[in-house]
Amino acid sequence: MASVSKEPNGRRSIQFVAADGKRRTIRLGKVAQRIAEEIRGKVEALHVSKVAGISWDAETARWVAALGPDLADKLAAVGLVPPRKEVARTRLGEFLTAYIAGRTDVKEGTATNLRIGANRLIAYFGAARDLASVTAGDCDDWVIWLKERYAAATVGKTVKWGRQFFRAALRKKLIVENPFEDVKAPGMGNEARKFFVDRETSQRVLDACPDLQWRLIFALSRYGGLRCPSEHQALEWTDINWELNRFRVRALGADLPRVAALPRKGVRAGRRGRRACHHPAPLAEQEPAHATHADHPAGWVQAVATALPQPPRHPGNRTGRRLPAARRL
């Protein structure tokens, strides 16, 4: 059994009898009695494991892994834990950069979102923060910090990114546990943001667009249901069927592109990879005029793409800013 002793100068130490029958002393310095008792309990658990030749339990293993270098060296000196090898600490910023760079399996849009989440972690913790030093309590404080700056849906998504990053660090054995494991992400729904863009408002947006290309981009999004900008940029003249008054939309990244017809004036996901869409009247009005401006043999895949700004600016953002202006007309 181990015991705590207090020296005249106020310093505390833990003593126990090792397997060889000799008394060992672990000097703790000036610490509270409660802390000394907690360490004593762990020392007893380590001593029993060593004598019995069994592995540490999960709680003891986590405690040892989280020890500071001073106490870890003192425990190693009396034979309770193996000596620590000098290992380089993993910095938060370096890990996040390497993780995102290694995700070559995701699209650029996903990688951009991961960078956004990483930047919010670095903004609070700092790029030089030791990855293993982030605790669950630190994560709780970070969530409060996020709530002071962002909407609930944004906070929820950011927390999920944080959990994803640290889960990857856990799998690489850079940390002993994921501090985000029990951190609850706020709900991502936001009913206040829902707004139906009716035909009258849509026409005002079209009138507010600066040129034909932007009118086509908005019409394809509003009436064709295209995802902007990926599905706009993939359109080619071969996708247009003027006789049947429909066009084919390619969902980028699908493994097996196929085609499915849709009901008139409706848009829904077809079989994997592609969907077909009838021309609503407002959309059909934009296309013949645009056809005369196509300046590339491949079709309007180039004509539409030239109107779309390059990252990090997103055409959806610019189009969204045109909506309030159009409503004021």
Q: Quick one: 166 and 223 in the same domain?
A: no
Averaged pLDDT score across all residues of the chain: 76
pLDDT score for 303: 42
pLDDT tens readout for residues 224-269: 778 788 788 877 878 777 777 777 777 665 543 333 333 344 334 3
Query: Is 315 part of a structural domain of the chain?
Result: yes
pLDDT score for 270: 41
Q: Quick one: 226 and 171 in the same domain?
A: no
pLDDT score for 236: 80
Q: Quick one: 223 and 318 in the same domain?
A: yes
pLDDT score for 312: 39
Q: Quick one: 216 and 283 in the same domain?
A: yes
Q: Quick one: 234 and 146 in the same domain?
A: no
Q: Quick one: 219 and 299 in the same domain?
A: yes
Name the band, by pLDDT with cuts 50, 70 and 90, for residue 308.
very low
Residue with more model confidence, 253 or 152: 152
Q: Quick one: 120 and 30 in the same domain?
A: no
Q: How many domains does the chain have?
A: 3
The last residue of a domain, from among 190, 222, 251: 190
- Total residues found in the chain within this entry: 329
Q: Quick one: 102 and 166 in the same domain?
A: yes
Long-range contacts of 104-112 (CB under 8 A, 24+ apart): 107/252, 107/253, 108/311, 109/230, 112/311, 112/312
Q: Quick one: 165 and 267 in the same domain?
A: no
Query: Is 55 part of a structural domain of the chain?
Result: yes
φ, ψ of residue 144 in degrees (nearest 5): -60, -40
Domain enclosing residue 22, as ranges: 3-77
Alpha helices in the chain (DSSP H): 33-52, 58-65, 69-77, 92-102, 108-125, 136-147, 152-171, 199-208, 212-222, 230-233, 281-291, 300-305, 315-327
Query: Is 84 part of a structural domain of the chain?
Result: no
Residue 62 has pLDDT above 90, yes or no: no
Section 187-203 average pLDDT? 79
Query: Is 263 part of a structural domain of the chain?
Result: yes
Query: Is 255 part of a structural domain of the chain?
Result: yes
Q: Quick one: 28 and 143 in the same domain?
A: no
Per-residue tokens: 129: 């923060």
Q: Quick one: 227 and 313 in the same domain?
A: yes
Section 266-293 average pLDDT? 48
pLDDT tens readout for residues 91-141: 999 999 999 999 999 988 899 999 999 999 999 999 999 998 899 899 999
The count of C-alpha atoms lying within 13 angstroms of the C-alpha of 212, restricted to the half-sphere facing its C-beta, is 12
| Whole-angstrom distance, CA of residue 278 vs CA of residue 244 | 8
Residue 284 has pLDDT above 80, yes or no: no
Residue 329 has pLDDT above 60, yes or no: no
The last residue of a domain, from among 77, 108, 124: 77
Query: Is 82 part of a structural domain of the chain?
Result: no
Query: Is 173 part of a structural domain of the chain?
Result: yes
pLDDT score for 310: 44
The last residue of a domain, from among 173, 190, 207: 190
Q: Quick one: 209 and 322 in the same domain?
A: yes
Sequence-distant (≥ 6) Cβ neighbours of residue 176 within 8 angstroms: 61, 62, 65, 66, 132, 170
User: Do 248 and 274 touch, CB atoms closer than 8 A?
Assistant: yes
* CATH classification of the domain holding 157: 1.10.150.130
Name the band, by pLDDT with cuts 50, 70 and 90, for residue 281.
low
Query: Is 262 part of a structural domain of the chain?
Result: yes
Q: Highest mean pLDDT: which of 71-80, 124-133, 182-191? A: 124-133
Residue 277 has pLDDT above 80, yes or no: no
